[in-house]
Structure 1
Amino acid sequence: MRVILATLAAGALASGAAAQTAEANTRAAIARVERLNPQVNAVLALDPTALDQARAQDRMRRVRGPLFGMPILIKDNIETLGPLPTTAGSLALKDNVTNRDAPLVAGLRAAGAVILGKTNLSEWANIRSNASISGWSAVGGQTRNPYALDRNPCGSSSGSGSAVAAGMVDAAIGSETDGSITCPAALNGVVGLKPTIGLVSRTHIVPISASQDTAGPIARDVTTAARVLGAIAGSDAADPVTAAADAHRTDYLAALRPDALKGVRIGVLRFSAGWSKPVDAVFEQALGILRAQGATLVEITELKDRDKIGAAENIVLMTELKAGLNAYLATAPATVKTRTLADVIAFNTANAPQEMALFGQELFETAEKTKGLDDPAYKAARALSLRLAGKDGIDAMLAANNVVALVGPTMPAAWLIDAVNGDQVSGSGAGNLAAVAGTPHLTVPMGNVRGMPVGLSFMGPAWSEARLLGLGFAYEQARGPLPAPTFRKSVEDSPDVAALLAPAKR
């Protein structure tokens, strides 16, 4: 692990009250990381310049930004200024010190945030193997869920979700291609927002898919997510897909009204539920809250050809992974010796005891065989997946049912970390549609199953982040507080579950 903690430690605040200076906030966050990270392994490294950043913010207190003094952690596939490498969790990138900020990181700094450090992630953002263990990387090891340490935090933004849930920071940045913000947010009991593709720059982020990649906030509540989104949204000339971002960027905090659900029509994606009776029960409670707040719920029972999206999406991701990663590695510092996807595959093979003891790289090998972005099969797959998820999917359901948003359970509760079989997931929600369509997806905690968090998804048309945040805020306020993590070893250790597992008295 690359943990730089001891040189930064300087004590913690005695209470949870917000400190008055950026330096005090940062010192308190460092102390929380020192105390809590050994249990969950969410933080790879603290930035040794963090206190200097904070002091610089304090010297500018007359021009405080909207995130003044807020310590924020960054997923380690996103570049930051300073001495920390951007590894994507792979030993192949352990020397990838670019000393430059991704535009979204620059936006956070301009808003007054302190870049506290880097979070662990599923290696290569979970695109190396279908048999992977989410939350594991060769650089960082296994991230754990603070609600039960033997449970998976989901990926690929596992460290970002776990660190926020554990209380180390109020917000972290994750990235998503398909579920990598919303799944770890939901499983760790925090808020996650996957923005519209093109609202947040992808420049200087280790890529998977130009069609589906985006970064976004993971936060302790909807208000914090909205504040962070306002700092990272915007156009970037180096990322042409963001050309319209400045025109669509808005005051997200202004949309946060307790009565935002009153009088709105929301579609209930019944086809995205039904795989877990306990999750369904929590989902019904959430729907009851939406109704009580004045929303009209419209049942949507099916989506034609939904089962065809996955195969087409896979062709898109494999083709774009090779093209994007080759382009990224070609411009990496000379210290990085892997300059192509083929080089990474060879590196993993040569370093198999460290990189491939738990699972292989069959997805990398599949991607290496793809024929490029001009391949007619790739173009057809992208057109098909985009149409089925977007025009004939989310857009069609919104229009046909005259609703402003769609809701469904985000994911199952966290599964066990399984070094034998890899991830064992019992079901999935509807978030795949928003990932493929490139539209926004907000998840907000809706309750617990045996003490493990589950999330409620709000999805809408492109550029509807403000509306979704407003709906999520109104739901969050009506729902009330939920239990904090207890860092117990397992679900079975909780008294109520242990009693059920004990033999009956005779």
Structure 2
Amino acid sequence: MLTSKAIWLSLGLALLAVVQLVAAQEWPFATEETESFPDLYEVSVLELQAGLDAGQFTSVDLVKTYFARIEEVNLQGPGLRAVIEMNPSALAEAAALDLERLTSGPRSLLHGIPILLKDNIGTIASEGMNTTAGSYSLLGSIVPGDAGVVKKLRAAGAIILGKANLSEFAHFRGNLASGWSGRGGQCTNAYYPMADPCGSSSGSAVAASIGLAAVTLGTETDGSITCPADHNNLAGIKPTVGLTSRAGVIPISEHQDTVGPLTRSVSDAAIVLSVIAGPDPNDNFTLAQPSPVPDFAQALNSSALCGARIGVPRQMFLNATISGIDPSVMVAFEAALETMKAMGATIVDPADMPSADEIALSNNETIVLDVDFKVQINAWYQSLLYNPSGVANLSGLIAFDDAYPSLEEPTGYTDQSILIESEATTGFNSTYYQALAFDKDLGATRGIDAALSMYGLDALVLPAGGYTTVPAVPLGFYPSNVTIGSAGPNTVYPAPGVPFGLSFFASAFSEMKLISYAYSYEQKTMTRLMRKAYAYPSTQLVDIVGK
């Protein structure tokens, strides 16, 4: 969750004991002299699969290498604090999947691929990891089982590498810096010292940006995938609410929460989305999605923008200017529009949403989220099989934070105003239902859907920062002379060299079309490759394989 100002884009958007057994197998490794290993800073899922299939390296090698990479930069060196904990079962799981690859072949394109999960995505406690949303009030708690998306990842053969840091409770605690949690500390951007990573999927994004995992998962309620993608030079997909299961994910709101990928390329994001999308009987919102689940990799068409009608909702820039969109972002955005024109797209500019002015002033999202969070977080605490903190509900959480200030309220990170505001709500009353209905009217009926219809558009496009849009792809980097701003007690934004992104959006369940546009633009520009992070690990597969 970023801010309470973009419900319109949240509601209707389309956008992985047997170690010795495996070690005894004869692996057809190529020698270091005859075959180079892929660079884990930029390697794709397909490249990893090719190396695994060829026997150049194993999933055990991958896990060891990613663990070493995390150790280099997480708490040591630049201290990025992107990862809260690593999976103690990951090596055994990788060994089992390596053996399965030898005996029966890979299950999917994610077979043996290490994935980091945002720490609000539930995993079985017996595996050895916590699920805490960054809060000590949930440390040591036992969830009933894996989250729905984790079940799908495991079925596909993915390896859960660990849990990524996040803005505590998905940035639904108070006026705190993005990327901070009690358990994880302050996560920071890898592109400039102490730069804002954006949130709440901060650790997932920072980890993906410099290859601390093959791919990562984040969650979004309002900007928490797209803004981290924007700030960290990534492709991120915020799926339509109900395309991916939220069962077993620490909630904010069932009406806005969604789970999606943060990756270095649109192709990797499409591969991951194809695995985690689909119905889940434990999340009834997913039962309303179109069937069958698409293979989103089929959307990877580098010519997709040719003939597409893309609209620019200019009125949003007037509202964005008030909150301080940087001129350098707008320069890059205008250049992107020209690039799309050259690729054969028709740019309709302006193509404003009728509700644009009302969206900027609406407080309805806050009403809905406050009510939903209290109801759903109370249900989460009650669902736990065990919780050593004793916290059983939202009021208990607030009291816990006050009782343990050294853990949960260090200097600069004391605020609990959102929790307190949510605790004061009284449930699903007429005000709540009116706000919910009005949000849909603003976001869909008189918002996105209206603009698409009025101007005969295939999609809309905006700079990604601050907007809940899908998917996000790299657009550019702040210039060296940008004025450095404060983003919290210990973080800065903007800052020299920090990335920013571009987002396409349309009606609900338009992911296939939107992925195709994002891929087309990405392949034409390859913006991600124009600048490397200042902080990144040096360990590579060559340092691990055969050692």
- Same fold by TM (over 0.5)? yes
Structure-2 residue corresponding to 1:372: 427
TM-score (norm 1): 0.86
Structure-2 residue corresponding to 1:386: 440
Structure-2 residue corresponding to 1:486: 534
User: Is residue 149 of structure 2 the alignment partner of residue 94 of structure 1?
Assistant: no
Structure 1: how far apart are the matches of 2:165 and 2:345?
39
User: Is residue 179 of structure 2 the alignment partner of residue 125 of structure 1?
Assistant: no
Structure 2: how far apart are the matches of 1:303 and 1:465?
20
SS at match of 1:45: strand
Structure 1: runs of 5+ lacking an equivalent: 1-11, 412-427, 435-440, 489-506
Structure-2 residue corresponding to 1:296: 346
Q: CA deviation at 1:14?
A: 6.5
User: Is residue 478 of structure 2 the alignment partner of residue 449 of structure 1?
Assistant: yes
Structure-1 residue corresponding to 2:540: none
Alignment of 1:9-88 (within 5 A): 16=39, 18=48, 19-20=51-52, 21-38=58-75, 39=78, 40-61=80-101, 62-64=104-106, 65-81=108-124, 82-88=127-133
- Whether the 8 Å contact between 1:77 and 1:88 is mirrored in structure 2 is yes
- Whether the 8 Å contact between 2:63 and 2:161 is mirrored in structure 1 is yes
Structure-2 residue corresponding to 1:332: 384
Percent identity over paired residues: 40
Q: 167, 175, 181: which is aligned to 2:211?
A: 167
Structure-2 residue corresponding to 1:5: none
Q: CA deviation at 1:362?
A: 1.2
Structure 2: how far apart are the matches of 1:272 and 1:184?
20
Structure 2: how far apart are the matches of 1:333 and 1:246?
34
Q: 150, 166, 191: which is aligned to 1:147?
A: 191
- Whether the 8 Å contact between 2:315 and 2:352 is mirrored in structure 1 is yes
- Whether the 8 Å contact between 1:36 and 1:168 is mirrored in structure 2 is no
Partner amino acid, structure 1, of 2:95: R
Figure out how many residues of one structure are paired with residues of the other and give that number.
451
CA offsets per residue over residues 121-180 of structure 1, 9 Å max, x none? 000110111x21110001010001000122110110000000011221231000010001
Q: Which moves more between the two structures, 441-450 or 18-27?
A: 18-27
SS at match of 2:224: coil
Partner amino acid, structure 1, of 2:123: T
Partner amino acid, structure 2, of 1:366: E
CA offsets per residue over residues 347-376 of structure 1, 9 Å max, x none? 112122321232311111111111112x00
Q: 231, 238, 258: which is aligned to 1:214?
A: 258
Structure 1: how far apart are the matches of 2:357 and 2:400?
35
Alignment of 1:170-319 (within 5 A): 170-245=214-289, 247=291, 249-273=293-317, 274=321, 275-300=325-350, 302-309=352-359, 310-319=362-371
Structure 1: how far apart are the matches of 2:331 and 2:391?
49
CA offsets per residue over residues 206-260 of structure 1, 9 Å max, x none? 0000100011000010000000001100101111110033615201001101111
Q: Which moves more between the two structures, 268-277 or 133-142?
A: 268-277
User: Is residue 521 of structure 2 the alignment partner of residue 475 of structure 1?
Assistant: yes
CA change 1:74–1:307 in 2 (3 A) is same
Higher relative contact order (CA 8 A, sep 6+): 2
Alignment of 1:414-453 (within 5 A): 428-429=466-467, 431=468, 441-450=470-479, 451-453=497-499
User: Is residue 409 of structure 2 the alignment partner of residue 356 of structure 1?
Assistant: yes
SS at match of 1:247: coil
Partner amino acid, structure 2, of 1:281: V
Kindly report the root-mean-square deviation, in angstroms, between the aligned alpha carbons of the 2 structures: 1.9
Partner amino acid, structure 1, of 2:273: L
- Whether the 8 Å contact between 2:171 and 2:178 is mirrored in structure 1 is yes
SS at match of 1:72: strand
Partner amino acid, structure 2, of 1:448: F
- Whether the 8 Å contact between 2:74 and 2:83 is mirrored in structure 1 is yes
SS at match of 2:363: helix
SS at match of 1:217: strand
Structure 2: how far apart are the matches of 1:487 and 1:281?
27
Q: CA deviation at 1:33?
A: 1.3
- Whether the 8 Å contact between 2:235 and 2:474 is mirrored in structure 1 is yes
SS at match of 1:186: helix
Partner amino acid, structure 1, of 2:507: P
CA offsets per residue over residues 319-346 of structure 1, 9 Å max, x none? 0000111111111122241111111111
- Whether the 8 Å contact between 1:84 and 1:97 is mirrored in structure 2 is no
- Whether the 8 Å contact between 1:272 and 1:409 is mirrored in structure 2 is no
Structure 2: how far apart are the matches of 1:60 and 1:54?
10
Q: CA deviation at 1:302?
A: 3.9
Structure 2: runs of 5+ lacking an equivalent: 1-31, 53-57, 480-496, 537-547
Structure 1: how far apart are the matches of 2:462 and 2:391?
41
- Whether the 8 Å contact between 2:179 and 2:188 is mirrored in structure 1 is yes
TM-score (norm 2): 0.80
- Whether the 8 Å contact between 1:164 and 1:172 is mirrored in structure 2 is yes
SS at match of 1:447: strand
- Whether the 8 Å contact between 1:318 and 1:366 is mirrored in structure 2 is yes
SS at match of 1:300: coil
User: Is residue 371 of structure 2 the alignment partner of residue 323 of structure 1?
Assistant: no
- Whether the 8 Å contact between 2:355 and 2:447 is mirrored in structure 1 is no
Partner amino acid, structure 2, of 1:243: L
User: Is residue 458 of structure 2 the alignment partner of residue 408 of structure 1?
Assistant: no
SS at match of 1:269: coil
Q: CA deviation at 1:26?
A: 1.8
CA offsets per residue over residues 90-138 of structure 1, 9 Å max, x none? 1101112327211101111111211100000000110111x21110001
Q: 395, 403, 406: which is aligned to 1:342?
A: 395
